[in-house]
Amino acid sequence: MQDAINTWQDVQREVLGRIQNRVWKPGDIIPNEVDLAKEFGCARATVNRALQAVADSGLLDRRRKAGTRVAVNPVRKATLEIPIIRQEIEQRGQHYQYALIEQQVTDPQADMQAMMKLSDGQQLLHLKALHLADGLPHVYEDRWINISTVPEIVAVDWQQNNANEWLVAHAPFSDGDIAFSAGAAGAVEAEILNVPLNTAVFIIERSTWMMQQSITRVRLTYAPGHRLHTTI
Amino acid sequence: MQDAINTWQDVQREVLGRIQNRVWKPGDIIPNEVDLAKEFGCARATVNRALQAVADSGLLDRRRKAGTRVAVNPVRKATLEIPIIRQEIEQRGQHYQYALIEQQVTDPQADMQAMMKLSDGQQLLHLKALHLADGLPHVYEDRWINISTVPEIVAVDWQQNNANEWLVAHAPFSDGDIAFSAGAAGAVEAEILNVPLNTAVFIIERSTWMMQQSITRVRLTYAPGHRLHTTI
DNA sequence: AGATTTATTATGTGCAGACATATAAATATT
DNA sequence: AATATTTATATGTCTGCACATAATAAATCT
């Protein structure tokens, strides 16, 4: 028995401490909730809450009956927030501007048709736009929107509205996938972002879906220097 | 009143449904926990658990006294797993190899001391290593380890052990931060990765901590073509 | 009117007890 | 020996209750 470890945060701290100090080593099974509750002088529910939090972060593996053990190869999960570009810019105290570059209704090319899992005949709205921070190019947005899924889009004035925001508000998605990579700026991107040809640029490609129906696919090419930051 | 909505997952489903169907619109304040518990026919604790989960996912904003409201700009969160490099490579069916390039105990430079929040006099172990997939350079690892936090490291043979794996097994961390960016390969990196100078490369920089104590900071420079992929 | 204190209210969290559920381990069956 | 069944156990979660805490709204005092 020891001094009050009452709150689940206290318990979490204590547990993390024991893992770090190797009182409990990777692979070790730790005492069960009832015993820990007794030792800490708190309710089992409190221990449970704490252990669940630590397990969520990947440092503990828990299985019914088998007990709780310190993860051997903790697979760390980083959660990164996908902000709306305007917010991202304004949050840094910079002035946001948006400029439509091109707008066109097209039949999809084969690769795009595959990536967006389109049926034959489904058309896309293709938008090219630039987001600026304090007047400087920040990110070039190359976007395809599935007209079948979001028919209202054809009526929208994309000079005034930007797809990044409009879609969040009007076309909720159930799931999607994102890929991050680095690439060399091609002729088009280099000119739009106003950087030398082949400059290293950060690229995000994102597709979103609502119940198997593709909504949109976007390729964001960031101006040099952009960092995507998050905590584990 | 309606059919049993007893489990917190049930409540979560119901809440998500109402948000999706715009019964509760963005910005709307939703009924308080006591009322919802009454409506669903369950305990307030259950409603609380569910609402906390939804709030965690970013779809609800909660504040004491002010109540719970539907997020106006739902910040989507992607969780991406940080695999051990060996696993990442072997999972693709490729052969994994590791090569130590350089190993050195140093006093930190000012910027590194700041980034790792080191006290004066704390020394670092600096490791440079290359991870290969099927014999080809995959990622160049440039790592600093805090000797004060992990004193055992000085005794480790880094020809045989790779820090990426050794640390997860021996020095678990409670939190950290990650940054993703694109950069141009410098002379050192270009040679090690065997690519032309200024090739666009994907860079991950990661610092990890255990209870305010810095453990390590690593800069991973990936060979061209690397993509980091995840789902929302 | 404006500033300061007090009350009110919704969420945050703790507790004890109960039952549910997954599953490892023991036992019985083929 | 291999397979099916039972049992024991650790975690998962619900309930009702209590009190803590943050933050707004109301009341009070300059």
Please tell me the distance from the alpha carbon of residue B76 to that of residue B79, in angstroms, as a whole number. Answer: 10
Rounded Cα distance between B64 and B107, Å, is 47
Tokens representing residue B63 in the block? 């504040």
Residue in the structure block whose two tokens are 């039949």: A107
Please check whether residue A227 lies inside any domain of the structure: no
Examine residue A80 and state whether it is found in any structural domain, yes or no: no
Residues A54 and A109: their CA atoms lie apart, in Å, by 47
Position with higher pLDDT, A67 vs A210: A67
Token code pair at residue A105? 């209704």
Q: How many domains is chain B partitioned into structurally?
A: 2
B79 within some domain: no
CA of A103 to C1' of D7 (A): 68
Q: Which of B90, B88, B53 lies closest to B68 in space, CA to CA?
A: B53
Is residue B40 packed enough to be buried (19+ CB in 10 Å), middle (13-18) or exposed (0-12)?
buried
- 3-state class (DSSP) for residue B29: strand
Is A39 inside any structural domain? yes
pLDDT at A24: 94
Residues B216 and B109 in one domain: yes
Residue A27 contacts residue A59 (beta carbons within 8 Å): no
Count of other CB atoms within 10 angstroms of residue B190 = 17
What is the C-alpha separation between B96 and B136, in angstroms, rounded?
9
Q: Do B173 and B201 lie in a common domain?
A: yes
Q: What is the pLDDT of residues B59-112, one digit of tens each?
A: 899 999 889 999 887 777 777 877 789 988 998 999 999 999 999 998 888 888
B40 CA vs C9 C1’ separation (Å):
21
How many C-beta atoms lie closer than 10 Å to residue B118's C-beta?
20
Please report the residues numbered 153 through 172 in chain A whose beta carbons come closer than 8 angstroms to any beta carbon of chain B: 168-169, 172
Q: What is the pLDDT of residue B71?
A: 86
Report CB contact under 8 Å: B181, A201: no
Same domain, B34 and B127: no
B113 and B187 belong to one structural domain: yes
CA nearest neighbour of A73 among B83, B116, B220:
B83
Show Cβ contacts of residue B162 under 8 Å, excluding neighbours closer than 6 positions: B85, B86, B98, B100, B129, B131
B227 touches chain A (CB under 8 A): yes
3-class DSSP string for B54-82? HHHCCCEEEECCCEEEECCCCCEEEEEEE
Give the pLDDT confidence score for residue A154 in this predicted structure: 82
Q: Are residues B214 and B127 in the same domain?
A: yes
Instruction: State residue A143's pLDDT score.
Output: 95
Which nucleotides along chain C are within 7 A of a protein C-beta? Answer: 8-18, 21-24
Which token pair is A101? 């570059």
Put simply, whether B17 touches A (Cβ < 8 Å) is: no
Residues B63 and B153 in one domain: no
A196: number of Cβ within 10 Å: 9
Specify if B1 maps to a domain: no
C1' (D8) to CA (A29) span, angstroms: 18
Assess if residue A230 is contained within a domain.
Answer: no
**CATH number of the domain within which B207 lies:** 3.40.1410.10
Residue B121's pLDDT is 78
SS (H, E, C) B182-220: EEECCHHHHHHHCCCCCCEEEEEEEEEEECCEEEEEEEE
Contact A178 B229 (CB under 8 A): yes
Q: What is the dihedral of CA B164, B166, B169, B172, to 10 degrees?
A: -60
Residue with tokens 């950087």: A195
* Cβ separation A78–B82 shorter than 8 A: yes
Q: For the sheet with B200-210, list strands across it.
A: A227-231, B175-184, B200-210, B213-222, B136-146, B124-133, B96-106
Report the pLDDT value the prediction gives residue A174, as an integer from 0 to 100: 63
CB contact under 8 A, B174 and A16: yes
* A64 and A174 together in one domain: no
Residues A66, B92: Cα–Cα separation, whole Å: 31
Segments forming the whole domain that contains residue A101: 85-222
CA angle, A30 as apex, A25 and A33 as ends, to 5°? 155
Closest to B92 in 3D by CA, of B204, B200, B232, B227: B227
Residues A114 and A200 in one domain: yes
- Whether the CB of B52 is below 8 Å from some CB of chain A: the reply is no
In what helix (H) or strand (E) does residue A204 lie, and over which residues does it extend? strand A200-210
CATH code at B18? 1.10.10.10
pLDDT band at residue A78 using 50, 70 and 90 as cut-offs: confident
Whether the CB-CB separation of A105 and A154 falls below 8 Å is answered with: yes
User: pLDDT per residue over A130-170, tens digit each?
Assistant: 999 999 999 999 999 998 888 888 888 888 888 888 887 77
Is B229 contained in some domain?
Answer: no
What gap in Å lies between CA B98 and CA A196, rounded to an integer? 35
List protein-proximal bases of chain D (any atom < 7 A from a CB). Answer: 8-18, 21-24
B25 with B98, same domain: the answer is no
Looking at the complex, does the CB of residue A31 fall below 8 Å from at least one CB of chain B? Answer: no
pLDDT value of position B179? 93
Alpha-carbon distance of B178 to A81, in angstroms, equals 13
> In this structure, are A63 and A111 located in the same domain?
no
Residue B75 lies in a domain: no
Q: Is the CB of A86 under 7 A from strand D?
A: no
Structure token digits, residue B177: 């931060």
Cα–Cα distance, B18 to B12 (Å, whole number):
10
Within a 10 A sphere around the Cβ of B175, how many other Cβ atoms? Answer: 15
List chain B pLDDT tens, one digit each, 232 residues: 445 677 999 999 999 889 877 789 888 899 999 999 999 999 999 999 999 999 988 889 999 988 999 988 777 777 787 778 998 899 899 999 999 999 999 888 888 888 877 777 788 999 999 999 999 999 999 999 999 888 888 888 888 888 888 887 787 777 788 999 999 999 999 999 999 999 999 999 999 987 778 899 999 999 999 999 888 7
Query: How many other CB atoms are found less than 10 A from the CB of residue A135?
Result: 9
Note whether A53 and A106 are same-domain residues: no
Q: Please report residues of B whose CB lies closer than 8 A to that of A71.
A: 172
Yes or no, beta carbons of B230 and A177 under 8 Å apart: yes
Q: Are residues B32 and B92 in the same domain?
A: no
